Amino acid sequence: WGRGKIRFSTSVSAAQPISPSAVTEEPINPAVKINHTQLLINGQFVDAASGESEDVNRAVAAARKAFDEGPWPRMTAYERSLIMFRFADLLEKHREEIAGLETWDNGKPYEQFANIELPMVIRQFRYYAGWADKIHGLTVPADGHLHVQTLHEPFGVAALIVPWNFPLLLYSWKVGAALACGNTVVVKTSEQTPLSALYVSKLFHEAGLPPGVLNVICGFGPSAGASLCSHMDVDKVSFTGSTDTAKTVLELAAKSNLKSATLELGGKSPFIVCEDADIDKAAELAHSALFFNQGQCCVAGSRTFVHESAYDEFVEKAKTLALNRVVGDPFKKGVEQGPQIDNRQMLKILKYIRSGIEDGATLEAGGERFGSKGCYVQPTVFSNVLDDMLIAKDEIFGPVQSISKFSNLEEVVRRANATRYGLAAGVFTQNIDTANTLTRALRAGTIWINCYDIFDAAIPFGGYKMSGQGREKGLNGLTNYLQVKAVVTPL
Ligand code: NAD
């Protein structure tokens, strides 16, 4: 898996459809031609300008015009909903091309994307398509001499900034909600993974989306991303990425026009296995909670706390699962773990692994680069991890599981909450009282009880503390993109 540097795309329509059977034969289909330099602005693929802020200006101007003058915010919500439903049908029709592009671009296993992520993307668009004509305000029981009502209106132009780890899934959370409310948008893909967003946005136009409503640019974060955040004609920014970048995003938003910001950021989520847990199930889910998507998940269960009575048995199971994990070419059937996103990320992960060894954690499995080509890392398990070790504190964003021992609930709550993050937590117990106690004590936006990584379209998602501001998905996700107007009439 030695792909070259692919940047902007594309006439992705030139890409050959990749069928699952074909891709299992050949690691890379050499017929896939990905050109560079094209962006999707005002319904057309256009060449990128040399200055990225120029691209941003063009995209924002198209979105502004479509919002101020175009049909999208003016058509009935039902018409918007129908276009979104038609788009979801097109995603289904083109699922092989989309899955091929996402795997090509990101390195995630084709089968996992096609069978897990893409159905979630389609479901998310249908979910928000269903909401479009059900958004309404209230009549407010104010002073008896007044008739007061609220109108829920779109913000205007929304900038949607997406990272590389779930390029299309996170696009669906943001684009689905923003468009259902009648906003127009400029999506900025990660510079590393622009292909799927460009491809599907073209399909959105085939479904009847008016030009200018959905624009896609793919420039670098500190240039294109930053000029989008500070643009005076952008009313809203929704950002998913690292906590450090989010501080810049907020600062730029504040210094320009105080645009509203929704932030979905990093995590260091605890996965707590109590003494009465089903250990087989807990070990399996702890494994997928960490290793899914090459460990590049914001919600990765990256601090596994196991009660001392089940600890040795759990560590043995975790080790076996990691040693049996199938690593390899992501286009091959049965592969569970592909390469990391790039060389830099791989080197960063290997450095964390070295720090774990130097700090005295016990290396149970993995610990090195996998093979000598590409950016693969062995599924790695550490036991006897102490809370002050770097691997227990930092977001590694790679296939490195850290297991620690605990003695009682009070202790595990204190340790689980001792982080600047608060994105998610997993709780494994058969005791309802223990589950309720932990659910209320843990400071995180999602608590999964005897499950993990459940991302139904209707479930709100977001972080406490430095894991974010606001919620995406579900009904809460719509409120990011709506202004509330109070209308007061004396009776
Ligand atoms: P990143 O912060 O480097 O980049 C994210 C996006 O922001 C990219 O599109 C990038 O181009 C853009 N960007 C970078 N600098 C910018 C700037 N100065 N102004 C505006 N935009 C800028 O993060 P990443 O490395 O691409 O993604 C990994 C991070 O995302 C991890 O920390 C992960 O935890 C987090 N993440 C969070 C969630 C969530 O929902 N909470 C989901 C996925 C990923």
pLDDT mean over 385-399 = 98
Task: Return the sign of the alpha-carbon dihedral for residues 340, 343, 345, 348.
Answer: positive
The verdict on the CB of residue 265 being under 6 Å from ligand 1 is: yes
Task: Return the sign of the alpha-carbon dihedral for residues 334, 336, 342, 348.
Answer: negative
pLDDT mean over 37-52 = 88
pLDDT at residue 15, as a whole number: 34
Pocket test for ligand 1, best of 248, 298, 464 (most atoms within 8 A of CB): 298
Q: What confidence tens digit (pLDDT) does each residue in 310-327 have? A: 999 999 999 999 999 999
Residue 37: pLDDT band with limits 50, 70, 90: low
- Point out the least confidently predicted range of 37-51, 188-202, 271-285, 327-341: 37-51
Q: Which pair of tokens denotes residue 447?
A: 């608590």
pLDDT mean over 100-115 = 96
Q: Which pair of tokens denotes residue 123?
A: 């479901």
CA neighbor of 449 nearest in space, from 308, 266, 273, 268? 273
pLDDT at residue 98, as a whole number: 95
pLDDT at residue 28, as a whole number: 44
Residue 20: pLDDT band with limits 50, 70, 90: very low
In angstroms, what CA-CA distances link 184 with 75, 141, 228, 451? 13, 33, 14, 36
Interatomic CA distance for residues 445 and 442, integer angstroms:
9
Q: Which atom of ligand 1 is nearest to the CA of 472?
A: 40
Interatomic CA distance for residues 205 and 475, integer angstroms:
25
Within 34-166, residue ranges assigned H as helices are 52-68, 77-93, 95-106, 110-112, 118-131
CA of 266 to the centre of ligand 1 (A): 9
pTM: 0.93
- Whether residue 22 has pLDDT greater than 50: no
- Whether residue 24 has pLDDT greater than 80: no
- Whether residue 132 has pLDDT greater than 90: yes
Contact 103, 120 (CB under 8 A): no
Question: Is the link from the previous residue into 380 a cis peptide, with omega within 30 of 0?
Answer: no
The verdict on the CB of residue 167 being under 6 Å from ligand 1 is: no
Q: Which pair of tokens denotes residue 386?
A: 């102490």
Q: Which atom of ligand 1 is nearest to the CA of 162?
A: 9
Interatomic CA distance for residues 192 and 189, integer angstroms:
8
Looking at residue 184, the DSSP 8-state letter turns out to be E
176: alpha, beta or left? (left if phi > 0; alpha if psi -120 to 50): alpha
Residue 468's identity, in one-letter code, is G
Residue 3: pLDDT band with limits 50, 70, 90: very low
Interatomic CA distance for residues 196 and 370, integer angstroms:
27
pLDDT at residue 52, as a whole number: 83
CA of 165 to the centre of ligand 1 (A): 9
As annotated, the active-site residues are 264
Task: Return the sign of the alpha-carbon dihedral for residues 314, 320, 323, 329.
Answer: negative
Please state, rounded to an integer, the average pLDDT across all residues of the chain.
93
- Whether residue 34 has pLDDT greater than 80: no
Residue 417: pLDDT band with limits 50, 70, 90: very high
Q: Looking at the chain, how many residues does it have?
A: 491
- Point out the least confidently predicted range of 30-44, 334-348, 448-462, 470-484: 30-44
Task: Return the sign of the alpha-carbon dihedral for residues 7, 10, 14, 16.
Answer: positive
DSSP line for 146-167: EEEEEEEEE-SEEEEE--SSSH
CA neighbor of 455 nearest in space, from 265, 173, 179? 173
Residue 164: pLDDT band with limits 50, 70, 90: very high
Pocket test for ligand 1, best of 124, 242, 397 (most atoms within 8 A of CB): 242
Residue 13: pLDDT band with limits 50, 70, 90: very low
For a pLDDT cut of 90, what percent of the chain falls above it? Answer: 91
Residue 35: pLDDT band with limits 50, 70, 90: low
The verdict on the CB of residue 229 being under 6 Å from ligand 1 is: yes
Query: Helix or strand or coil: residue 328?
Result: coil
For ligand 1, atom 14, the nearest C-alpha belongs to 221
pLDDT at residue 149, as a whole number: 97
pLDDT, greater one: 36 or 97: 97
For a pLDDT cut of 70, what percent of the chain falls above it? Answer: 92
CA neighbours within 13 Å on the CB side: how many for 207?
Answer: 26
pLDDT mean over 279-295 = 98
pLDDT mean over 141-146 = 91
The values of phi and psi at residue 485, to 5°, are: -110, 125
pLDDT mean over 238-248 = 98
CA neighbor of 200 nearest in space, from 211, 213, 216? 216
Interatomic CA distance for residues 481 and 152, integer angstroms:
9
Residue 458: pLDDT band with limits 50, 70, 90: very high
In angstroms, what CA-CA distances link 392 with 290, 382, 403, 418, 451? 13, 10, 9, 11, 22
- Whether residue 103 has pLDDT greater than 60: yes
- Whether residue 253 has pLDDT greater than 80: yes
- Whether residue 404 has pLDDT greater than 90: yes
Interatomic CA distance for residues 380 and 363, integer angstroms:
8
pLDDT at residue 12, as a whole number: 36
Contact 375, 345 (CB under 8 A): yes
Contact 285, 442 (CB under 8 A): no
- What is the Cα 361 distance to its own chain's centre? 30
Interatomic CA distance for residues 389 and 374, integer angstroms:
28
Q: Which atom of ligand 1 is nearest to the CA of 246?
A: 2
Interatomic CA distance for residues 4 and 33, integer angstroms:
12
- Whether residue 6 has pLDDT greater than 80: no
Q: What is the ipTM of this complex?
A: 0.93
pLDDT at residue 17, as a whole number: 35
- Point out the least confidently predicted range of 48-57, 180-189, 286-295, 474-483: 48-57
Q: 324-357: string of b/e by CB count within 10 Å (b at 16+)?
A: ebebbbbbbeebbbbbbbeeebbeebbebbeebe
pLDDT at residue 143, as a whole number: 86
Contact 382, 361 (CB under 8 A): yes
Residue 181's identity, in one-letter code, is C
CA neighbours within 13 Å on the CB side: how many for 134?
Answer: 8
Pocket test for ligand 1, best of 53, 108, 120, 161 (most atoms within 8 A of CB): 161
The verdict on the CB of residue 444 being under 6 Å from ligand 1 is: no
